[in-house]
Structure 1
């Protein structure tokens, strides 16, 4: 009996020990399964759609398929109240701000081009004469990010992964690839049109094109898009845009009316002038094709180290400038871009894996509706005609200071003064700035005028001065900053443009999708510099060196 009791006791102890060991193992497994404070997608894809207003997402919604914009909105996070918080709102500053998480006041890209007051010369945001072209005999490849003064999220990814994470940037425009790629990109590629029709790069990145790029260029895929531009759908269904034949749109060469189909000789010619493709939706098609070739050839997203593919769709900007916000051409361009996004997402699912990549989509600036059209609708709008105002301004300078040569340059709605000449006249810079600003503000074309002294001495927190201050860089910006009346632009009377601090230029989409991203939407205000910190927080890496934005907490799981 005693032996039986001991045997039962031994069995009980063994069972108890087994249960304890099992519980301990479960706790260990549970600890190992605890969520990390970051995610590691195999690939991050950054998409910037050039000149995309937020309302293009909603205006054309009923025409979009399920696999492009709608997939990103319905399965991702939609920031509906996303804005640029600086001006000028243009391509170079836009791409730099998206990727640095900073504003031009910090990253230094104050325009596509600007007056270099130190060297008394013009500066291009991506231009670099110390580099040589790769893939072309022209100067189109003499580019680098050397004028961008801080790091990008792509730089931070490279640093975070000990340079193992691969970064490749692709765009029709050089600045749409160079600035997102950052200072440490493995490669940035852009399109050389003219008679070449090739994808090229700069000696900043490499001494010669990789074999796969040469092979792609030799395939002459681009020639498949030298064809008439017809509407994707029946043009009668494009009720979300204005009449096809109107006076607010530009013309391709040889065209008499700005109407579909667009089939000029240069679009149809297979041997020359590939430049024209940029101004059709086919420019976005060749961008997708080349980006996917880069994805596959470079084996991006194939291991556990996060890579980054930066894509900028530039043709929407060319089309907007030519035809305007309300055109059938813009509508067709976005319906076709929707198909490009669907194609891209399907290939990402296939090559990287659904749920294994993170993607964001935004724009580099918005655009104004054609002021001539707005005027005809009895909406306050119009055009700044330089010849109506600047002669009067020069006369003021002569009368007040005895010379109009105190102004060295006028560009990007800024005036650059000759400081040495002012000092030689024994005048104070601040007083001259204030005097000129007061004069300009008396002209009926200007809504607001600020001086560099105001930008440096005050701290603005909202409104137009806040936006201007974020775009003001003391070493690169001018002495006087001018803001035209809302609805007014300095531009031809056909097509749309951008660059102002007005809401039609600042309100752009911001969509997040994929690994680590919540599903949902919000009308809470977000700003362009928030994008880079959000992606950085998602990946658990350091923020770009000049970042002033903050992570958008509601976006992250």
Structure 2
């Protein structure tokens, strides 16, 4: 599915082409002048997050890109960016991108957590982008909210400095839109049950109504299999996982199949088309101030979960996204606006263990389905004579004790829990709340961090658990036997989930590549410097990255 099709439906016309001009007469040879970053602030900041776009996928496909990613690779390329914390999930990752802060400061410790005091739900679960205080809101049917994000985003800081700033956020997932947009947005839209939606009571602009009509028409139309590029064909090898076959898919879809629409290149095309429409209709970047739009492209994550990362499906997804980004940039070019783009990801990801076994990695296995927090809690209760439940949470993440336990019971439960988790051969480490709190928040290169330092970057005391459990590398925390549609996942402490590319591009800025590790929390101070926005160092965790490829610095 090409971006052009949905953009034409949405905008009412074909994507505008760039104006063509006659080639100038050859100039006399001159000594090359090193490029420098433009001296004036950009008029529009475009922040794009490609969900589950790992540094490994970027390295695998960068030589195959011919569209939008090629443009990004002509700018400042940081191939080893880090979501440096341990909780490599969607919500924590998106919370770092435009806040300059790690989850230990944003408060977004995971996609969900346990709150035994703040709600009356039997499982005590809270979703990261909900307001559980709203009557009738449940964990599965929640009211979307920004209440849990504890820090301001770049857009909020820009609006505080200049109230004329427009802040827009569009994404396939609500948590991506909320965590990048923040608390003070002019427009915030995500793809819900019936198309793009927003907070209750928000007026739907005409461009969103047009987008929903275009997407509804697209979903109602069946789609045949996509053409597989020649370089994708060697990846089209069937792999059996739990009674289903992955690796050979080409995104054919029956009419009305919303789930497979999400799990296809069509989904990102819809999000980018709406973003393009909002930029045009709102005339972003054409006022006296700098505006900002954040865009969450979610399809890569859905494809990674549903089909894994190394089959024909991911090859088609990334090459299609490359073309969609190229068409999106053409729309921006046609506006004449001076825009600065940053592209990164919320986390990486791991392939299905069954395909790893075919690729010479036989020790890549699924989590033992018998290793569960509930099972260990039950065993502890039986041993200590304590009525359950004893523990809440999940393996490879936060674990909470029942708040009704006495101090003596908690101490006994902690000893038993650590012993039982560590007795399992798939467990790498178990850290207590006290151990994590005693660890200094790291400020060294992220690739050098210890596991407990990674845990500290994810730890927010009012919400984090009593224990944090880390599985061994290459243990895929999607247990055997596989149940449901997902065959692969992310969320580990390890670099295949932590490392993501960070790419900056602006017309006339020149480019370079820096292989050393940087962090996604560095994005906010880097962009803030380009527009002359002061951000006190004590309020964030990131540092400014110099985007000037020559002498001089953009970090002023």
Query: Alignment partner of 1:191: what SS?
Result: strand
Per-residue CA deviation, residues 401-450 of structure 1 (Å, 9 max, x unaligned), is 22262624123622100243123xx44x4564344223321221101110
After superposition, residues 411-422 of structure 1 pair within 5 angstroms as 411=394, 413-422=397-406
CA apart distance, 1:496: 1.9
Distance 2:475 2:177 in 1: 31
- Deviations 1:77-119, CA, capped at 9 Å, x for gaps: 1002211110211111111111111111111111111112322
Does the 8 Å contact 2:37/2:509 carry over to 1? Answer: no
Which residue in 1 is equivalent to 2:434?
453
Structure 1 Cα separation of the partners of residues 251 and 508 of structure 2: 43
Q: Distance in 2 between matches of 1:107 and 1:500?
A: 19
Q: How far apart, CA to CA, are the structure 1 residues paired with 2:250 and 2:440?
A: 52
Does residue 61 of structure 1 match 2:62?
Answer: yes
What SS does structure 2 have at the residue aligned with 1:80? strand
Aligned counterpart, 1:144: 145
Question: Which residues of 2 match residues 6-405 of structure 1 at below 5 A?
Answer: 39-65=40-66, 67-74=67-74, 76-119=75-118, 121-128=124-131, 142-161=143-162, 163-193=163-193, 196=194, 198-203=195-200, 207-219=202-214, 222-223=217-218, 226-228=221-223, 230-234=225-229, 236-238=230-232, 242-248=235-241, 259-263=248-252, 267-269=253-255, 272-353=256-337, 356-376=338-358, 377-388=360-371, 393-394=376-377, 396-398=379-381, 400-403=383-386, 405=388
Aligned partner of 1:477 among 457, 464, 467: 464
For residues 26-62 of structure 1, the C-alpha deviation after alignment (integer angstroms, 9 at most, x for no partner) is xxxxxxxxx9997421100000000001132232233
Counterparts in 2 of 1:258 and 1:56: CA distance versus 1, 3 Å: closer
Q: Which has the higher helix share?
A: 1
* C-alpha distance after superposition, 1:371-413 (max 9, x if no partner): 2222342432212234256576346513552226262412362
Report the equivalent of 1:23: none
Distance 1:224 1:305 in 2: 38
Q: Find the aligned partners of 2:239 and 2:517 in 1 and give their Cα distance.
A: 36
Range moving further from structure 2, 41-50 or 225-234: 225-234
TM-score normalised over the length of structure 2: 0.82
Aligned residues: 494
| SS at structure 2 position matched to 1:202 | coil
Q: Distance in 2 between matches of 1:250 and 1:152?
A: 44
For structure 2, list consecutive stretches of 5 or more residues without a partner in the other structure. 1-35, 443-448
Does 2:450 correspond to 1:463? yes
Please give the alpha-carbon distance, in whole angstroms, between the structure 2 residues aligned to 1:312 and 1:140. 21
Tell me how far 1:200 sits from its aligned partner: 1.0
Residue by residue over 1:318-343, the C-alpha shift from the partner in whole angstroms, topping out at 9 and shown as x without a partner, is: 01001101111001000000001101
SS at match of 1:491: strand
**Would the aligned equivalents of 1:287 and 1:313 in 2 still touch at CA under 8 Å?**
yes
- Aligned residue for 2:515, secondary structure, equals strand
Deviations 1:258-311 (A, max 9, x none): 634443xxx332xx4434310111001111111111111111111231010111
Q: Give 3-state SS (helix, strand or coil) of 2:239's partner.
A: coil
Contact 1:141-1:202 at 8 Å conserved across structures: no
Residue by residue, what CA displacement relative to the aligned partner does 1:112-147 show, whole Å, maximum 9, x if unpaired? Answer: 1111232252211111356799xxxxx978312111
On the 8 A contact 1:92/1:179 being kept in 2, the answer is yes
Tell me the C-alpha RMSD between the 2 structures.
2.9
Quote the Cα distance in structure 1 between the aligned partners of 2:263 and 2:505: 29
Residues 302 and 373 of structure 1: is their aligned pair in 2 closer, same or farther, counting only changes over 3 Å?
same
> In the aligned structure 1, how far is the partner of 2:78 from the partner of 2:37?
25
Return the alpha-carbon distance in structure 1 between the equivalents of residues 243 and 316 of structure 2.
16
d(CA) in 2 for partners of 1:360 and 1:384? Answer: 35
Secondary structure of 1:508's match? strand
- Contact kept, 8 Å, 1:249 with 1:324, in 2: the verdict is no
1:442-483 per-residue CA deviation (whole Å, 9 max, x = no partner) reads 221101110011111232642211111110111101111111
CA distance 1:87–1:447, shift in 2 (3 Å): same
- Cα distance in 1 for residues equivalent to 2:199 and 2:498: 31
1:487 maps to 474
SS in structure 2 at match of 1:403: coil
Question: How far apart in 2 are the matches of 1:455 and 1:550?
Answer: 24
Change in CA separation of 1:72 and 1:394 when aligned onto 2, cut-off 3 Å? closer
Q: Report the CA distance shift for 1:523/1:408 in structure 2 as closer, same or farther (over 3 A).
A: same
Relative distance call for 1:250 and 1:82 in structure 2 (3 A) is farther
Q: Which residue does 1:7 correspond to in 2? A: none
Measured in 1, the distance between the counterparts of 2:219 and 2:336 equals 27
Residue segments in structure 1 that go unaligned for 5+ positions in a row: 1-34, 134-138
The SS at the match of 2:514 is: strand
TM-score by length of 1: 0.82
